[in-house]
Chains A and B, each alone.
Chain A
Amino acid sequence: MSHDAPHAKLIYMANQIAKFMESKPHDQGIEGLASHINDFWEPRMRRHLFEVLDAGGNGLRPLVLDAAVKIRRPAEAA
Chain B
Amino acid sequence: MKDFIIPDRDFGTPAAKSKQMVTLNIDGFDITVPEGTSIMRAAAEIGISVPKLCATDSIDAFGSCRLCLVEIEGRNGTPASCTTPVAPGIKVHTQTGKLKTLRRGVMELYISDHPLDCLTCSANGDCELQDMAGAVGLRDVRYEAIDTHFRAKDTSGIANPNYIPRDDSSPYFSYDPQKCIVCSRCVRACEEVQGTFALTIEGRGFDSRVSFGAKTDTALSSDCVSCGACVQACPTATLQEKSVIDIGTPERSVITTCAYCGVGCSFKAEMRGDELVRMTPYKHGKANRGHSCVKGRFAYGYASHKDRILNPMIRDSINDPWQEVSWPEAMEFAANRMKGIIAKHGKKSVGVITSSRCTNEETYLVQKLTRAVFQNNNTDTCARVCHSPTGYGLGQTLGTSAGTQDFDSVEETDVVIVIGANPASGHPVFASRLKKRLRKGAKLIVVDPRRTEMVDSPHIRAAHHLALTPGTNVAVVTALAHVIVTEKLYDEAFIRDRCDWDEFQDYADFVSQPQNSPEAVELLTGVKASEMRAAARLFATGGNGSIYYGLGVTEHSQGSTTVIGIANLAMMTGNVGRPGVGVNPLRGQNNVQGSCDMGSFPHELPGYRHVKGPEVRAIYENLWGVTIDPEPGLRIPNMLDAAVEGTFKGLYCQGEDILQSDPDTKHVSAGLAAMECVIVHDLFLNETANYAHVFFPGSSFLEKDGTFTNAERRINMVRKVMAPKQGYADWEVTQLFANAMGADWGYTHPSQIMEEIAMTTPSFAGVTYEKIETMGSVQWPCNDKAPEGTPLMHVDGFVRGKGKFINTEYVATDEKTGPRFPLLLTTGRILSQYNVGAQTRRTDNVMWHDQDVLEIHPHDAENRGIKEGDWVRLASRAGETTLRATITDKVNPGVVYTTFHHPDTQANVITTDYSDWATNCPEYKVTAVQISPSNGPSEWQEGYNAFATLSRRIAAAE
A9→B917 contact, CB < 8 A: no
Q: Mark the stretch among B629-637, B650-658, B774-782 that contacts chain A.
A: B629-637
Q: Is the CB of A20 within 8 A of B918?
A: yes
Residues on A with beta carbons closer than 8 Å to the beta carbon of B807: 23-24
Contact for B917 among A3, A20, A41, CB less than 8 A: A20
Task: Tell me if B844 is interfacial: C-beta within 8 Å of chain A.
Answer: no
Q: When the two chains form their complex, are residues B346 and A20 in contact, meaning their CB atoms are under 8 A apart?
A: no
B821 CB to nearest chain A CB (Å): 15
Contacts of B918 in A (CB 8 A): 17, 20, 36, 40
Residues of A contacting B558 with CB < 8 Å? 20
Measured between C-beta atoms, what is the minimum distance from A5 to chain B in Å?
A: 10
Contact B561 A44 (CB under 8 A): no
Do A42 and B645 have beta carbons less than 8 Å apart? Answer: no
The answer to whether B641 touches A17, judged by C-beta atoms less than 8 angstroms apart, is: no
- The one of B612, B633, B811 in contact with A42, judged by C-beta atoms closer than 8 angstroms, is B633
In the complex, what residues of A have CB within 8 A of residue B642's CB?
44
Q: Is B667 engaged at the interface, CB distance under 8 Å to the other chain?
A: yes
A40 to B919, CA, bound (A): 8
Number of interface residues, chain B, beta carbon within 8 A: 40
B436 proximal to A (CB < 8 A)? no
Say yes or no: A45-B809 contact (C-beta < 8 A), given A20-B917, A74-B631, A78-B346.
Answer: no
B559 to chain A, nearest CB (A): 11
Once the chains bind, are B634 and A20 in contact (CB under 8 Å)? Answer: no
A57 within 8 A of B: no
Contact A16 B346 (CB under 8 A): no
Residue in contact with A19 in the complex, picked from B631, B912, B917, B920, CB distance below 8 Å: B917
A20 vs B918: C-alpha distance when bound (angstroms)? 9
- Judge whether B346 and A42 touch: CB under 8 Å: no
B914 to A1, Cβ gap below 8 A?
A: yes
Please name all residues of chain B whose beta carbon is closer than 8 Å to the beta carbon of A23 when the two chains form the complex: 510, 807-809
Residues of B within 8 A of A41 (CB): 632
A22 interfacial by beta-carbon distance below 8 Å: yes
Contact A39 B917 (CB under 8 A): no
Give the shortest distance, in Å, between A3 (CB) and chain B (any CB): 6
Q: Are B638 and A39 touching (Cβ within 8 A)?
A: no
Q: Is the CB of B644 within 8 A of A3?
A: yes
**Chain A, 37-52, CB within 8 A of any chain B CB:** 38-45
Nearest-Cβ distance from residue A12 to partner chain B, whole angstroms: 8
Contact indicator B917/A16 (Cβ below 8 Å): yes
B610 at the interface (CB under 8 A from A): yes
Please report which residues of chain A, range 10-28, place their CB below 8 angstroms from some CB of chain B when the two chains form the complex.
13, 16-17, 19-20, 22-24
- Chain A: minimal CB distance from B556 (Å): 12
- Seed contacts A3-B667, A6-B645, A24-B807; 20 additional CB < 8 Å A-B pairs: A1-B912, A1-B914, A3-B913, A6-B641, A9-B641, A19-B811, A19-B917, A20-B811, A22-B809, A23-B809, A36-B918, A40-B635, A40-B919, A42-B377, A42-B632, A42-B634, A42-B638, A44-B348, A44-B638, A74-B631
Listed in ascending order, the chain B residues whose CB lies under 8 Å from chain A are 346-348, 377-378, 510, 557-558, 560-561, 602-603, 610, 612, 631-635, 638, 641-642, 644-645, 647, 667, 670, 807-809, 811, 814, 912-915, 917-920
6 nearest A-B residue pairs (beta carbon): A16-B917, A23-B809, A23-B807, A42-B634, A19-B811, A43-B631
15 contacts between A and B (CB under 8 A): A1-B912, A1-B914, A6-B645, A13-B915, A19-B809, A19-B811, A20-B917, A20-B918, A22-B809, A36-B918, A39-B603, A42-B377, A42-B635, A77-B346, A78-B348
